Chain A
Amino acid sequence: MESPSLRVYEKLRQSLGEFVGVVGFQSLASRALTLARPEAPSLSAARVTSDGSLQGLGEIETQIDMDKDRAGEGGIILIARLLGLLRSFLGEALTLSLLRNAWPSEAFDDRNSVHGRKA
């Protein structure tokens, strides 16, 4: 079964790929993976292929699924780094716009941002 992190990653790949191109997304994802690895050693086996897809994450998450506390942690860190990269390049508003495009039915807010409403 596909892990939640991988589903999110794939959705981002499809959505952002249209915008930045396959090569553009592949570069971003590779950078995100490099940034995430020191925080999540479980990502050491993961790799971004030439079409931008991620290999190695699903298997890892399935293996560590036994440990509920760490379930999907590597994938979450990777997604966080990917979004962090987008945010640093495009800013918060534009990043949120792109996420809304990928998940049009989801309610996004920026409650955690310095500009957003406080929780």
Chain B
Amino acid sequence: MKINKLPTGVPGLDEIVGGGLPEFSFNIIAGAPGSGKTTLAHQFVFANATPERPALYFTVLGESAIKMLRYQQQYTFFDPAMLPGSIRFINLSQVVLEKDLGAVLLQITKEVEKSNPAVVVVDSFRTMIRKPESDLDLQSFIQGLALFLASWQATTFLIGEYAEEELHDNPIFTVADGLFWLRQTAERNSIVRKLQIIKLRGQDSVPGLHTFRITDAGVQAFSRTFGLTGHAKNPPSHRRLCFGIPELDKMLGGGVREGDSVLVAGSSGTGKSVLATQFIAEGIRHGEPGIVAVFEERPQAYAERAVSLGLDLETPQKDGKLKILYLRPLDLSVDETMHSILDAVQKIGAKRLVIDSLAGFEMALSPGFRADFRESLYRMIFALTGIGVTILSTVEVDESFTEFPFSTYSISFLTDDIIRLRYVSIDGQLRKIMVVIKMRGGNHAKDIREYEITSKGVVILGERLTNYQGLISGIPVHSDRSDSTEEPPLDTGIERKT
């Protein structure tokens, strides 16, 4: 028998709980005040209540019902027309204040038998323990309530204020089928909200801490699996995606392999963003929609800069072929960023994605997420390339004349292809060179090529630099060698895309 799953009404949460909340389950939403417990319960109620099988929302002590509804109705999910036909709010404060837990249970039983609800919420059940009764009393109450509500085919939420240290060895939690823990922590000047499904019987929920945000639409959760659970991984592609820079595409053996993660590394002013813009523009020219995630400048500025390279990013934006995402800085989580990117990918069917830049991306995250940046990038790149998106990320590296680093994040292993840009001192000039460091999917040229940034973007000059030694040190030495500069043949064995 398959257990029926109910929509949670919380965007992103269905994925996390394994497709929906088990019908007739008995759940506890726990967390500190202000962590979003009541809002989450309201979303579930509004998503599932009907006039035939209404929701009963029992308020106890704590937040007054009027104030609660006053604030809750600010959320877009709140439909006043559902009150009181589909959703009934019942205040139990008098019973709690004047009587005991047995009387509370009796009152709930009476109301449930009268209304035949599909959903029951007790908010907050923790405030019922104000009298110095034993834990056993409360446990008996919870046990009785759980048994009764399950028999009456109601899916139940008990809401309680709990501190982190109360999580362990609490017999109350043993009774529950589902335990949702909401956390809100301050990280320097950022507030980060995280949700954990501690337990959920009979469901393959996604483990770990998932970030969530409370917006005017209520709680929105961002799964660590980025909503891609069940998505088949795209088979490896042999298509090559060009930059539209003939010499560079040749160096790459025809372009980067579709579904690759490409890292363009270089110091400030070496043209990383220019290269990224050309990559996106070339894709659009070939009918491959693209997304540019920018963190350091506004989309308008990004598009305007492209004009100076002879690239029109305005028209494809209007035509739905390009989306430039400006992601809110300073308190993002990677999961949230991914949600925005995936949303855009699905909307326009994007094939290419530019992240410009990783340093900006890292800065946009709240401090706690920066610590996990490498792990987060790994999850993100794996997820996006898995659905066939080709990612080009730019990264600024500190230029050194003794070393040749590929990135400041030690993330080279996460990328399939690396293109390194750098300055070199030649003949009294600071020139730029480019080299393809690595291509996981095939052969590539080993040439070190000089390039310039012109009004047409990146232009590779002449042949490979054969008359210098130590180019990658940035301070090459002119050699008298006059070997042929004829290009070695590339045998990629891969279909080239023009």
Q: List residues of A whose CB falls within 8 A of some B CB.
A: 17-24, 28, 86, 89-91, 93-94, 97-98, 100-101
How far is A82 from B426 in the complex, measured between Cα atoms in Å? Answer: 85
Collect the chain A residues with CB atoms within 8 Å of residue B481's CB.
none
How far is A92 from B379 in the complex, measured between Cα atoms in Å? Answer: 47
User: CB within 8 A of A89: which of B66, B81, B84, B85?
Assistant: B66
Q: Are A90 and B73 in contact, with the CB atoms below 8 A?
A: yes
A94 to B: closest C-beta gap in Å: 4
Collect the chain B residues with CB atoms within 8 Å of residue A93's CB.
80-81
A95 to B: closest C-beta gap in Å: 9
B340 an interface residue at 8 Å Cβ cutoff?
A: no
Q: Are B66 and A90 in contact, with the CB atoms below 8 A?
A: yes
Task: Closest A residue to B83 by CB, please name it.
Answer: A97
Collect the chain B residues with CB atoms within 8 Å of residue A98's CB.
83-84
Collect the chain B residues with CB atoms within 8 Å of residue A20's CB.
64-66, 91
A-B contact list, 20 entries, CB within 8 Å: A17-B91, A18-B89, A18-B90, A19-B84, A19-B89, A20-B64, A21-B65, A21-B92, A24-B64, A89-B66, A89-B67, A89-B70, A90-B69, A90-B70, A91-B70, A91-B80, A93-B80, A94-B73, A97-B81, A98-B84
A113 to B: closest C-beta gap in Å: 14
Q: Which of B66, B69, B84, B89 has the most CB of A within 10 A?
A: B66
Collect the chain A residues with CB atoms within 8 Å of residue B65's CB.
19-21, 24
User: CB within 8 A of B73: which of A17, A24, A86, A91?
Assistant: A91
Collect the chain B residues with CB atoms within 8 Å of residue A91's CB.
70, 73, 80
Q: Are A101 and B93 in contact, with the CB atoms below 8 A?
A: no
B393 an interface residue at 8 Å Cβ cutoff?
A: no
Q: Are A19 and B90 in contact, with the CB atoms below 8 A?
A: yes
Collect the chain B residues with CB atoms within 8 Å of residue A86's CB.
66
B94 an interface residue at 8 Å Cβ cutoff?
A: yes
How far is A21 from B90 in the complex, measured between Cα atoms in Å? Answer: 8
B96 to A: closest C-beta gap in Å: 10
How far is A11 from B358 in the complex, measured between Cα atoms in Å? Answer: 63
B495 to A: closest C-beta gap in Å: 61
Collect the chain A residues with CB atoms within 8 Å of residue B270's CB.
none
A23 to B: closest C-beta gap in Å: 6
Task: Closest A residue to B65 by CB, please name it.
Answer: A20
Collect the chain B residues with CB atoms within 8 Å of residue A94's CB.
69, 73, 80, 83
Q: Restricting to B428-478, which residues have a CB under 8 Å from any CB of A? A: none
Could you count the A-B residue pairs with CB atoms below 8 Å apart for me: how many are there?
Answer: 58
B134 to A: closest C-beta gap in Å: 26
Collect the chain B residues with CB atoms within 8 Å of residue A24's CB.
64-66, 91, 93
How far is A72 from B232 in the complex, measured between Cα atoms in Å? Answer: 72
B59 an interface residue at 8 Å Cβ cutoff?
A: yes
Collect the chain A residues with CB atoms within 8 Å of residue B69's CB.
90, 94
Collect the chain B residues with CB atoms within 8 Å of residue A101's CB.
83-85
A34 to B: closest C-beta gap in Å: 17
Instruction: Identify the 4 closest CB pairs spanning chains A and B, nearest first.
Output: A21-B91, A93-B80, A21-B93, A101-B84
How far is A90 from B67 in the complex, measured between Cα atoms in Å? Answer: 8
User: CB within 8 A of B80: which of A22, A28, A97?
Assistant: A97
Task: Closest A residue to B96 by CB, please name it.
Answer: A21
Collect the chain A residues with CB atoms within 8 Å of residue B80's CB.
91, 93-94, 97
Collect the chain B residues with CB atoms within 8 Å of residue A97's CB.
80-81, 83-84
Interface mask (B47-87 → A, CB under 8 Å = 1, otherwise 0): 00000000000010000111101100100000011011100
B39 to A: closest C-beta gap in Å: 17
Task: Closest A residue to B61 by CB, please name it.
Answer: A21
Task: Closest B residue to A95 by CB, please name it.
Answer: B80
How far is A20 from B90 in the complex, measured between Cα atoms in Å? Answer: 7
Collect the chain A residues with CB atoms within 8 Å of residue B67's CB.
89
How far is A22 from B91 in the complex, measured between Cα atoms in Å? Answer: 8
Q: Which of A19, A24, A89, A90 has the most CB of B within 10 A?
A: A19
Q: Are A19 and B73 in contact, with the CB atoms below 8 A?
A: no
How far is A89 from B59 in the complex, measured between Cα atoms in Å? Answer: 17
Q: Restricting to B14-64, which residues have a CB under 8 Å from any CB of A? A: 59, 64
How far is A19 from B84 in the complex, measured between Cα atoms in Å? Answer: 10
How far is A76 from B227 in the complex, measured between Cα atoms in Å? Answer: 56
Task: Closest B residue to A93 by CB, please name it.
Answer: B80
Collect the chain A residues with CB atoms within 8 Å of residue B70's CB.
89-91
Collect the chain B residues with CB atoms within 8 Å of residue A22's CB.
91, 93-94
Q: Are B81 and A18 in contact, with the CB atoms below 8 A?
A: no
Q: Restricting to B327-363, which residues have a CB under 8 Å from any CB of A? A: none
Collect the chain B residues with CB atoms within 8 Å of residue A19's CB.
65, 84, 89-91
How far is A62 from B470 in the complex, measured between Cα atoms in Å? Answer: 107
Collect the chain A residues with CB atoms within 8 Å of residue B91's CB.
17-22, 24
A93 to B: closest C-beta gap in Å: 4
Task: Closest B residue to A19 by CB, please name it.
Answer: B89
Starting from the known contacts A19-B65, A94-B69, 10 additional A-B residue pairs (CB-CB under 8 Å) come to: A20-B65, A21-B65, A21-B94, A24-B66, A90-B70, A91-B73, A93-B80, A94-B80, A98-B83, A101-B84
Collect the chain B residues with CB atoms within 8 Å of residue A18's CB.
89-91
Collect the chain A residues with CB atoms within 8 Å of residue B93's CB.
21-24
How far is A18 from B107 in the complex, measured between Cα atoms in Å? Answer: 12
Collect the chain A residues with CB atoms within 8 Å of residue B85's CB.
101
How far is A89 from B90 in the complex, measured between Cα atoms in Å? Answer: 18
User: CB within 8 A of B94: which of A23, A89, A90, A100?
Assistant: A23
